[in-house]
């Protein structure tokens, strides 16, 4: 049976002295990771938890994250990862909705186990015997809550099978296997951050924990720990850009892989030039579907803007609003079917049914275009498409035009209610330097049809993002509406 605890067990036997996790001055070997995760499993079972119970985990990126994940799996318990930046009411909603019977935290909370002397005392007093609670591989190992950008967050149930197969495929695709070194840059409480951070310890590699994103600290960590493969989101690349002056030793690095959103073409070109000789991948996926596509290094320049072909063991189809396949070059909604799909939303059958088909395909609500070579490009979120004057405008088209201006660092485009047009195109831009809206408008009009040109430009210091690095467009709309009231 596949279990996310399997890799820890295997490499504790095969390479017990190999370092599995690095967190600053602290390190865990595979033998220690196996021992501590077994002790945690016993400590939780000894507190009356039973297999199938859910346990909230509220931690930043730190050494204990992998051992807690493995320990819960050994005990047959289900992990409910929590974002440390959530407010207490948001935390309480998730704990209540998931019916969590315990929770572990590293902050000042009244929780079951706090990562201080209480946690260490519990491990020291517990048996080191692996309880090996049998759990079917299709059972849920984790309930990951979505960011709640369109209402209350939904609990995505992810199986052991889904994640174990993701770990193996990730090791094959992005070099996260035995003897390899990587860095947990994205937050471990998020689906992608956990998947790619934990792959290393599942597959015999070493992961270094970046406590919070600091571009200078990341470059120093790559040099210090000789990282070979690193997962980033486009925002990370933007923040790294001013520091890439050749003063850091990045010679160990051979693979970068990006997620959250397709890299804007100008930023993609910079990444390829700045990290010359490093294989750059762009993947697309979601918490519900797992990894869906990947654009591999061989096509990084020729197909910039694309997210590539379907990933291992993944089928896709692109359909119109009636569910009929669309021809190449025509926008349509992307559905995928693979062993990585979620088990459904917890306590929400209606939401599960709304995004799945009877034959097992799932949509994350994204509109794509497939070219005649099968390369997939994300056009936009279906819910973000702007209908102005009866014509569809895809925000990503406008955003791509905006970021070609040398003074624009990043941009987000939304539709806002308009009495005449239904919706009007509004652009939010983050600039490197001062820029007039007239100059920006002139730049865009040279590249886009008039109906796509923003009716309004809002210059902002930063774009709001969720843990995955995705822009919170609903928040932008709400803030604009409040300002105009």
Looking up residue 457, the CATH number of its domain turns out to be 3.30.300.30
Task: Decide if 292 is inside a domain.
Answer: yes
Q: How many whole angstroms separate alpha carbon 400 and alpha carbon 11?
A: 45
Six-digit token string for 30: 């595979």
Query: Domain check: are 148 and 292 in the same one?
Result: yes
Residues of the chain with pLDDT under 50: 149-150
Helix (H) or strand (E) holding 89: helix 88-98
Query: Domain check: are 342 and 393 in the same one?
Result: no
**Residue pair 428/460 in contact by the 8 Å Cβ criterion:** yes
| Structure-token match 């890799």, residue found | 7
First to last CA, the chain: 57
Query: Domain check: are 407 and 260 in the same one?
Result: no
Query: Domain check: are 359 and 463 in the same one?
Result: no
Q: How many whole angstroms separate alpha carbon 450 and alpha carbon 454?
A: 9
Task: Decide if 375 is inside a domain.
Answer: no
Six-digit token string for 441: 């408008």
Beta bridge partners of 231: 257
- What's the sign of the alpha-carbon dihedral 81, 87, 93, 95? positive
How many C-alpha atoms does 173 have within 13 Å on its Cβ side? 26
Query: Domain check: are 409 and 352 in the same one?
Result: no
Q: How many whole angstroms separate alpha carbon 422 and alpha carbon 426?
A: 13
Residue where one domain finishes, among candidates 325, 343, 370: 370
**Residue pair 135/14 in contact by the 8 Å Cβ criterion:** no
Residue where one domain finishes, among candidates 340, 370, 400: 370
Query: Domain check: are 467 and 339 in the same one?
Result: no
**Residue pair 291/260 in contact by the 8 Å Cβ criterion:** no
Least Cα distance to 52 among 73, 25, 29, 37 occurs for 73
- Report pLDDT for 54: 98
- Report pLDDT for 150: 46
Query: Domain check: are 299 and 422 in the same one?
Result: no
**Residue pair 210/185 in contact by the 8 Å Cβ criterion:** yes
Task: Decide if 380 is inside a domain.
Answer: no
Provide the domain limits for residue 399: 385-484
Q: Where residue 65 sits, what CATH number does that domain have? A: 3.40.50.12780
Task: Decide if 377 is inside a domain.
Answer: no
Helix (H) or strand (E) holding 117: helix 117-125
Q: How many whole angstroms separate alpha carbon 36 and alpha carbon 337?
A: 37
- Report pLDDT for 180: 98
- Report pLDDT for 228: 98
Task: Decide if 134 is inside a domain.
Answer: yes
Six-digit token string for 423: 């919706």
Query: Domain check: are 71 and 197 in the same one?
Result: yes
Strands 78-82 and 54-58: parallel
Least Cα distance to 84 among 55, 104, 68 occurs for 104
Stated length of the chain: 485
Query: Domain check: are 342 and 397 in the same one?
Result: no
**Secondary structure letter of residue 61 according to DSSP:** S
| Most distant CA pair in the chain, distance | 70
Conformational region of residue 108, where left means phi above 0, alpha means psi within -120 to 50, and beta covers everything else? beta
Kindly report the backbone phi and psi dihedral angles of residue 192, in degrees, each rounded to the nearest multiple of 5, phi listed first. -70, -40
Residue where one domain finishes, among candidates 330, 347, 370: 370
Over the stretch 396-414, which tens digit does the pLDDT of each residue have? 889 989 999 999 999 999 9
**Secondary structure letter of residue 465 according to DSSP:** B
Per-residue b or e along 362-373, where b marks 16 or more CB atoms closer than 10 Å to that residue's CB? bbbbbbbbbeee
**Secondary structure letter of residue 298 according to DSSP:** G
Alpha carbon separation from 474 to 457, 465, 481 (Å, rounded): 17, 11, 10
Query: Domain check: are 304 and 418 in the same one?
Result: no
- Report pLDDT for 484: 62
Task: Decide if 378 is inside a domain.
Answer: no
Task: Decide if 399 is inside a domain.
Answer: yes
Six-digit token string for 247: 């003063």
Query: Domain check: are 414 and 293 in the same one?
Result: no
Query: Domain check: are 285 and 332 in the same one?
Result: yes
Query: In 175-274, which ranges are continuous DSSP H helix?
Result: 191-202, 215-225, 234-240, 265-274
Spatial CB neighbours of 325, under 8 Å, sequence gap ≥ 6 = 317, 318, 319, 332
Number of domains in the chain: 2
Task: Decide if 376 is inside a domain.
Answer: no
């Amino acid at each position: 049976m596949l279990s996310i605890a399997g890799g820890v067990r295997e490499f504790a036997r095969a390479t017990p002295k190999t370092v599995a996790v690095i967190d600053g001055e602290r390190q865990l070997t595979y033998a220690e990771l196996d021992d501590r995760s077994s002790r945690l499993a016993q400590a939780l079972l000894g507190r009356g938890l039973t297999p199938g119970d859910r346990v909230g985990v509220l931690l930043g990126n730190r050494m204990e994250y992998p051992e807690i994940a493995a320990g819960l799996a050994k005990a047959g318990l289900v992990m409910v990862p929590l974002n440390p930046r959530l407010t207490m009411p948001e935390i309480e909603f998730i704990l209540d909705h998931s019916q969590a019977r315990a929770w572990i935290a590293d902050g000042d909370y009244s929780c079951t186990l706090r990562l201080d002397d209480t946690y260490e005392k519990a491990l020291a007093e517990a048996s080191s015997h692996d309880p090996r609670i049998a759990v079917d591989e299709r059972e849920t190992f984790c309930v990951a809550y979505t960011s709640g950008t369109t209402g209350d967050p939904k609990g995505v149930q992810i199986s052991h099978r889904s994640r174990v197969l993701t770990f193996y495929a990730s090791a094959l695709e992005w070099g996260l296997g035995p003897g390899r070194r990587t860095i947990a840059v994205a937050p471990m409480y998020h689906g992608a951050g956990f998947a790619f951070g934990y792959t290393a310890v599942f597959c015999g590699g070493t992961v270094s924990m970046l406590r919070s994103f600091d571009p200078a600290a990341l470059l120093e960590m790559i040099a210090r720990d000789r990282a070979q493969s690193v997962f980033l989101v486009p925002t990370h690349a933007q923040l790294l850009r001013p520091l890439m002056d050749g003063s850091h030793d990045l010679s160990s690095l051979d693979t970068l892989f990006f997620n959250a959103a397709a890299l804007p073409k100008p930023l993609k070109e910079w990444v390829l030039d700045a990290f010359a000789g490093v294989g750059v991948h762009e993947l697309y996926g979601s918490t519900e579907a797992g990894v869906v596509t990947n654009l591999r290094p061989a096509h990084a320049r020729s197909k910039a803007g694309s997210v590539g072909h379907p990933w291992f063991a993944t089928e896709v189809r692109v359909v119109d609003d009636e569910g009929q396949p669309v021809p190449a070059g025509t926008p349509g909604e992307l559905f995928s079917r693979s062993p990585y799909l979620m088990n459904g939303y917890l306590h929400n059958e209606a939401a599960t049914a709304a995004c799945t088909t009877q034959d097992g395909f799932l949509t994350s609500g994204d509109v794509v275009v497939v070219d005649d070579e099968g390369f997939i490009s994300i056009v936009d979120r279906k819910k973000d498409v702007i209908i102005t004057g009866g014509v569809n405008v895809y925000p990503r088209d406008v955003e791509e035009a905006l970021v070609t201006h040398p003074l624009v660092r990043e941009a987000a485009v939304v539709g806002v209610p308009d009495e005449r047009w239904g919706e009007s195109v509004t652009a939010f831009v983050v600039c490197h330097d001062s820029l007039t809206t007239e100059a920006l408008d002139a730049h865009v009009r040279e590249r886009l049809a008039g109906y796509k040109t923003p009716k309004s430009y809002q210059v902002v210091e930063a774009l709001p993002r969720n843990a995955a690095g995705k822009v919170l467009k609903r928040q932008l709309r709400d803030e604009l509406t409040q300002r105009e009231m």
